[in-house]
Structure 1
Amino acid sequence: MTAASDASRLIALRLVASSALMLLLELALIRWLGANVVHLSYFSNFVLLGSFLGVGLGFLISRKRWTVVPVAMPLLALLVSAVLVFPVTIQRQGSDVIYFTAMKVSGPPAWLALPVVFLLVAVIVAGPAEMVGRCFGAFAPLTAYRYDLLGSLLGIGVFTLMSFLRAPSVVWGLVVSLVFVVLATGLRMRLVYAVSGVIVVGMLLSETMTAGVSWSPYYKVQTQPSRSGPGALSIWVNGVPHQTMAKASWRLIHAPQQYGTPYQRLPKARLDNVLVVGAGSGTDVAIALSKGARHVDAVEIDPRILQLGRQRNPDHAYQDPRVTTHTNDGRAFLESTHTKYDLILFALPDSLALVNGASQIRLESFLFTQQALEAVRDHLRPDGGFAMYNYYRENWLIDRLAGTAATVFGHTPCVDNFTSHQAVVAVALQQSNQVCGTAYRPSTKVVAPATDNSPFLYFKGGMVPWLYVWSLLGVIVVSLLSVRAVGGPFREMRPYADLCFMGAAFLLLETKNVASFALMFGTTWFVNALVFAGILVIVLAAVETTRRVRTPPLPVVFAGIAVSLVLAWVIQPDDLLGLPFWPRLVSASVLAFLPIYLANVAFAKRFADTSDSQSAFGVNLLGAIVGGCLEYAALLTGYDNLLILAGLLYLAAFLLTPPWSRMLRAPR
């Protein structure tokens, strides 16, 4: 009895460790590949979808006699080496979706890089997933799922800690390699894993030791001297030029159009109190001080770039007693402060990455919506004004931003266009307080303002871009072929079709919640990590509830899901923004997590009745791939209406639930 108990405990520990490795590896690959393969900066869920395919395939393979585990670590070494040896940069093509990218093309093209990365990620993640799947068979389904969730929480906790510490890539490579070696079975596999780990750590160490390379919670940051005056520094992130730190005096002489125009167009702004959103390394703050600002609130989301500004800004702007820095999301700061400003500047706030777990949310997405500019307007003093400037890439984007400002402020803004689509949009609270150079007339058909529900500033509208359509179709086709090859005929998986629909619906709920919390609390890495951790905790709570408490029959649970989805759809995130922090947090958590809790009670009840937990769990995760592709429907419907799509998927899941599980019966 004791020996059996010890064996069970060892299997449980292996399950938890394998699950932690699986999630840590997934998150690390999303972050690291996005930093080094520029295509992936705009397809953050591409690696996520590859990971889901890998997890699903790993669980299906765990039912087989053959294994993919021995090749997982060598393939990881191959992937890391190939990415660092053959770096990729791209130029965006087409104007329907705007990308902020490098100035020249190098490395493999997107049509080659994306499929190779997708397939390699799938096979690599399938290794630890297979380890988890083989442990599943030793426990009752819900007990195994419980250990899997505990491991996932451990994995996300380790990744969050590394993000907090701004750990370089070599750290996650070392941690992942060590866990792989510990979990290896047999001397030969342990040796192969050790050699592969040395390659991974060695390659990542060379990246870490490269002069000027550091990591923030969002980017791989690279710095190098710039020719933009004495003490100037060029800052690149994820392989793309991001900003140049230079003296304010040099900027005003050599680039007066961009940096000086806001002050020319808004001459009556007293500058007693200035807000700079996208303060970066401090150049825009230094310019505001040189123009006579008595106090500046400098908001920058990236702590590493803010640190570089404190350490190396030639004007020492952040050491000035007139400046207060805030490491925060710009929209979240506007919603949390009651300060009134004479001048608010959006100083080139463009991100070069997407928020993990959301197909189209960028760090600045909620900063340029109509509701965000309304918040700007409400924070201006009577003689105050607002300006935003950047290299906007396309005329239609300039016209869209100008149109949004006109809609919010009730009059036409000043719009100054310079070379390379460089533009300044400036508008005073009172039209009489702005002095425009020439009358503004849009040069393109003005696209309607982005909204908090559809915060896709760089999406021109219309149909989903073909770039996404072909990519997602490829994901689905490859996934179907892979599942058929590994899992056998689809008719054998038909009993778990309802779990597939549950997986797709759950992914949509997760995406909607990431977007909602990003709007209400900021698109910071910490908020994002808390959302994912919160979802895992709620899922674990649902599993424990099903294991320990007499729950209602499935029809009642599905009815509860429907009611909770309707409630979340009726009460919009914008309705909660005016609440104080704690009431807003409680309300947002209830609306977001109640449908997730009930959905996972339904999943746990159904999962407990399965005779083949590996296949059932694998099919559920493969359904998540479909959900990940359906995320892009938000481009057409907005995020709120994803709840309707999720509701339809849960309805399909209910209708496909085997009658013997769906019948009204006594609680168990």
Structure 2
Amino acid sequence: MKQLKSGQSKGGVRWRLVLASTTMLFVELALIRWAGANVVHLSYFSNFILLGSFLGIGIGFLLPAQGGQWLKRWTPVPLALLIILVREFPVQVRQSSNEVIYFTAVKTTGLPEWVTLPAIFLLTAVIMAGIGKITADLFRQLPSLDAYRYDLLGSITGSASFALLSWLRAPSVVWGVLAAAALLVLGGRRNTLRYGIPLTAMVAALFMETITTGISWSPYYKLEVQPAPTTTRTYYISANGVQHQSTAPLPVLMRQDSPYRTAYDETPRNPHRRVLIIGAGNGNDVAVALAHGAERVDAVEIDPRLQEIGAQLHPARPYDNPRVHVHINDGRAFLERTKTKYDLVVLALPDSLTLVSGASNLRLESYLFTKQAFEAARDHLEPDGAFAMYNYYRKSWLVDRFAGTLDEVYGHAPCLTTFKRTAAVLVAGMTPADQSCQRVWQASGAVPAAATDDRPFPYLLHRSIPTLYLGALGGILLVTVLSVRLTGVSVRKTFRYIDMFLLGAAFLLLETKNVIGFALYFGTTWLVNALVFLGVLLAVLAAVEVRRRLRRVNQPLLQLLLFGSLAVAWLVPAQAVLSLPFAGRLAAAIALAFAPIFCANLIFSDRLASAPDPTSAFGANLLGAMTGGAIEYLALVTGYHALLLIVAALYLGACVAMRFTGRGPGAQAPRVPDATVRAKT
């Protein structure tokens, strides 16, 4: 066993390691949520904070035991600096691009994204490097698998804690207080003053944000409600700093020039008895459906706080009507589960301003706009029913993409009605007789291919990686190289753990693929996302517990099981899983997702147990995870299913590399699970 620091028992090190790991993941999740809510448009690039976190934590683990102590002493300073700078000097990520659409309603100001994103990335990396260094110094005082076990317990605690706060809709000051308390404990008495001043400043800044009139938090956004200065609107609702919705009296919604009534005007023979509204929001569309005589309205809204605001403030009080049935759920998930047939299905402005956590390009509404989603909506229509969708689409090619997909799904061109500010309404009846168009859609140019469940990127014009992303990733690569050099991390020392690096890259991609899969099967809600991450951590912990109880492992057998489980996941189509009833779908999704993770982490745990320097090995693994996060952008070209091929290639590379590190098939396995070498402390 490794030597413990003076005055510390093994039990004391274990609980401090759990606390450090809890803090590390909690702060990472909080930074992703808070920065995305306050840096306008950063919520479209939240993966960059994740990559910055991996870089910082990786450096913290790769630094030698006596190196980088200044990071530990000054850990709270960059954290407070980031919070205060963002609060006092708001910045934006420029959203203009000819290759991808960002929904927004603000003028672009601030520095360009190639300055803003690397700056936020670097600050995040420094913050997480400090917490990572604290964790690493505790990690190296325990046997490798013992340390990894308690690190995972901390990660599970941090993830569950933040999920609980999301469920409670706790404001940002609560996140700050909890993080500050944990850091004060980890800093010890000697650092109380050094930690206390910046942490107090951070909590004060978050407190000022929390007490701002009209501010509240949902599981997805920071929401701000303000009375409208005009008589036509009653309240404006901003999400993450962008004007998102507004409530309006019924006479305004029913005006001749209102897009809200177009679906009803263009389906005059439709009885409109049963109406499904996806993206019900504050209730405008619900009020219009009721005004047209709907006997039942199923109002689906993913954000519970947005729906509550509408229930409290909408002047028509639509949610008080007994004919309205509210469903807080993802729209695609609702379509996959419900058996109800509708006269009219409406996609009502379902544009989110954020990404699914852990997925670099999947927005909350992405799976609503695929060809398969349009087919699912069609399958829930009565024989004389109709489908409608509308938004401020920004680009004519996006209208053509959606209209072309409807043409393909329904077998005829939909109605197209345009309004000012690039607003458009598309209406498709089950037959041409079920729609009454003033104007039938005609393509304005080459019609872009439909988005699919495998490539759910409706706002991306071409099958390519936008130069916006390539530039930002290039900036991150430059910052990464400079950071590794400036912190004195030994590249040669890290290179001997190239297999751990490849395992980290493969694991991050595999985790992302699972997040995407569960989002398709069960919805893009925050709860599904949180449960997937907890499931991944529990699968990893189960692999560690199994490895700790084995005297030897059969590496060839483990590798065969890993590649076999990946092959099964590749061969089973997503539509086959979607066609199953809920219980069967859940069982299939769990088996397909977690079997490869379990096998891969048995291999990883065995390699970690035999590593001469487990802390450096773990750091190399984290840098590999960061690389995997960057590789994920290839899905924009290949689709998500092809990521499994990249995962298999990375795992194959790791297995080959293990032969050169002495832990490949046929190598002598460690005699005891916690085989480690003594390290100077």
Structure 2: gaps spanning 5 or more residues: 672-681
Q: Aligned match of 1:128 in 131, 156, 162?
A: 131
Matches within 5 A, 1:174-573: 174-187=177-190, 189-227=191-229, 229=231, 232-253=234-255, 255-256=257-258, 258-550=259-551, 552-573=553-574
Contact 1:216–1:304, Cα closer than 8 Å, also in 2: yes
Of 460-469 and 42-51, deviating more is 460-469
1:630 aligns to 2:631 (yes or no): yes
Contact 2:145 2:605 in 1 (8 A): yes
> Equivalents in 1 of 2:550, 2:428: separation in Å?
59
Matched letter for residue 234 of structure 2 = A
Question: Mean Cα displacement is larger for which, 283-292 or 4-13?
Answer: 4-13
Q: Does 2:157 correspond to 1:157?
A: no
Number of equivalenced pairs: 666
Indicate the SS of the match to 1:517.
Answer: helix
Q: Distance in 2 between matches of 1:496 and 1:542?
A: 20
Runs (4 or more) in structure 1 with deviation over 6 Å come to: 1-6
Deviation at 1:661, TM superposition (A): 1.3
Q: Following the alignment from structure 1 to structure 2, what is the Cα–Cα distance between the partners of residues 184 and 103?
A: 41
Aligned partner of 1:592 in structure 2 is 593
> Which residue number corresponds to residue 101 of structure 2?
98
| Secondary structure at the counterpart of residue 593 of structure 1 | helix
Q: Which amino acid aligns with 1:94?
A: S
Q: In 1, Cα distance between the equivalents of 2:308 and 2:4?
A: 55
Cα deviation digits, residues 323-369 of structure 1 (max 9, x gap) = 00000000000001000000000000000001110011100010010
Deviation by residue 1:105-146 (Cα, 9 ceiling, x = unmatched): 233332222111111111111111111100112111111000
Amino acid at match of 1:601: L
Does the 8 Å contact 1:553/1:666 carry over to 2? no
Higher helix share: 1
Specify the SS of the correspondent of 2:146.
Answer: helix
Q: CA deviation at 1:560?
A: 1.4
2:392 and 2:424 in contact (8 A); partners too: yes
Q: 1:625 to 1:666 in 2, by over 3 A?
A: closer
Q: Structure 1 residues 2 and 128 mapped into 2: Cα distance closer, same or farther (>3 Å)? A: closer
Counterparts of 2:161 and 2:110 in 1: how far apart (Å)? 32
Counterpart CA distance in 2 for 1:512 and 1:551 is: 31
Matching residue of 1:80: 83
Q: How far apart, CA to CA, are the structure 1 residues paired with 2:53 and 2:316? A: 45
Aligned partners of 1:266 and 1:427 also within 8 Å = no
Provide the C-alpha distance between the structure 1 equivalents of 2:5 and 2:547, rounded to a whole number of angstroms: 29
What letter is aligned with 1:322?
R
CA distance in 1, matches of 2:161, 2:275: 39
Give me the whole-angstrom Cα distance separating, in 1, the residues matched to 2:666 and 2:175.
49
From the superposition, tell whether residues 199 and 6 of structure 1 become closer, same or farther in structure 2 (CA, over 3 Å).
Answer: closer
What residue identity is the alignment partner of 2:129? A
Please identify, of 21-30 and 104-113, the stretch whose mean Cα deviation from structure 2 is larger. 104-113
Give distance in 2, aligned partners of 1:251 and 1:85.
Answer: 38
Partner of 2:666: 664
How far residue 62 of structure 1 moved from its aligned partner, in angstroms, is 4.8
Is the 2:544–2:605 Cα contact (8 Å) retained in structure 1?
yes
C-alpha distance in 1 between matches for 2:649 and 2:5: 48
* 2:62–2:489 Cα contact (<8 Å) kept: no
Distance 2:382 2:57 in 1: 54
CA distance in 2, matches of 1:354, 1:108: 22
Among candidates 62, 73, 82, match of residue 70 of structure 1: 73
Secondary structure of 1:415's match? strand
The offset of 1:38, in angstroms, is 1.8
User: Once the two structures are superposed, what CA deviation does each residue of 1:609-666 show, in whole Å capped at 9, x if it has no partner?
Assistant: 0011111000000011110000100000100100000100011111111443113268
Structure 1 length as normaliser, TM-score? 0.97
Q: Cα distance, 1:90 vs. partner?
A: 5.2
On the 8 A contact 2:37/2:221 being kept in 1, the answer is: yes
Name the CA distance, whole Å, in 2 between partners of 1:98 and 1:125. Answer: 31
SS in 2 for 1:419: coil
Residues 579-623 of structure 1: per-residue CA shift (max 9 Å, x gap): 111111111000001011101011001111001111100000001
Q: Deviations over 1:11-56 (max 9, x none)?
A: 1111000000000000000000000112311111100000000100
Distance 1:428 1:259 in 2: 17
Query: Which one-letter code corresponds to 1:296 in the other structure?
Result: V
- Partners of 1:565 and 1:487 lie apart in 2 by 38
Residues in 1 aligned to 2:331 and 2:248: alpha-carbon distance in whole angstroms: 23
C-alpha deviations, 1:174-197, integer Å up to 9, x for none? 10011111111343x211211112
- Residue 63 of structure 1, CA deviation: 2.5
Q: Which moved more, 1:89-98 or 1:190-199?
A: 89-98
Distance 1:32 1:538 in 2: 28
CA positional deviation for 1:428: 0.4
- Quote the residue 1:108 is aligned against: 111
C-alpha displacement of 1:484: 3.4
Q: Shift of residue 272 of structure 1? A: 1.1
- Three-state SS of the structure 1 residue aligned to 2:255 is helix
Distance verdict in 2 for CA 1:243–1:254, change over 3 Å: farther
From 22, 25, 32, the counterpart of 1:23: 25
Aligned-partner SS, 1:435? coil
CA contact (8 A) 1:504 1:625 kept: yes
Q: Could you say which residue in structure 2 is the equivalent of 1:61?
A: 63
Query: Structure 1 CA distance, aligned partners of 2:458 and 2:646?
Result: 23
1:170: which partner in 2?
Answer: 173
Q: Summarize the Cα distance change of 1:665–1:493 in structure 2 as closer, same or farther, 3 Å threshold.
A: closer
The alignment's C-alpha RMSD in Å is 1.8
Matching residue of 1:13: 15
How far residue 496 of structure 1 moved from its aligned partner, in angstroms, is 0.3
Residue aligned with 1:657, SS: helix
The amino acid that maps onto 1:160 is A
Conservation of the 8 A alpha-carbon contact between 2:503 and 2:650: yes
Cα separation, 2, equivalents of 1:519 and 1:467:
27
Shift of 1:304: 0.4
Task: Give the whole-Å Cα distance in 2 for the aligned partners of 1:655 and 1:665.
Answer: 12
Instruction: Tell me which amino acid in the other structure corresponds to 1:214.
Output: S
Query: d(CA) in 2 for partners of 1:435 and 1:62?
Result: 72
Judged with a 3 Å threshold, the aligned counterparts in structure 2 of structure 1 residues 207 and 641 are, in CA distance, closer, same or farther, namely: same
Moved more, 178-187 or 482-491: 482-491
Q: Distance in 1 between matches of 2:228 and 2:61?
A: 51
Deviation at 1:571, TM superposition (A): 0.7
Give the % identical residues. Answer: 49
Q: What amino acid is the match of 1:168?
A: P
1:227 shift after superposition: 4.2
**1:238-291 Cα shifts (integer Å, max 9, x gaps):** 0111111111221222742x1121111112221111000000000110011111
Contact kept, 8 Å, 2:68 with 2:133, in 1: the verdict is no
**Secondary structure of the structure 2 residue equivalent to 1:625:** helix
CA contact (8 A) 1:39 1:110 kept: no
Equivalent AA in structure 1 for residue 138 of structure 2: C
2:41 is equivalent to residue 39 of structure 1: yes
2:92 and 2:116 in contact (8 A); partners too: no
Distance change >3 Å, CA 372–CA 620, structure 1 → 2 = same
CA distance in 1, matches of 2:94, 2:606: 49
Task: Say if 1:666 and 1:130 are closer, same or farther in 2 by CA, change over 3 A.
Answer: closer
Measure, in 2, the Cα distance between the counterparts of 1:485 and 1:63: 17
Q: Distance in 2 between matches of 1:316 and 1:586?
A: 41
Structure 1 unaligned runs (5+)? none
CA distance in 2, matches of 1:105, 1:236: 16
How far is the alpha carbon of 1:2 from its aligned partner? 13
Distance 2:295 2:231 in 1: 26
Q: Secondary structure at the match of 1:236?
A: strand
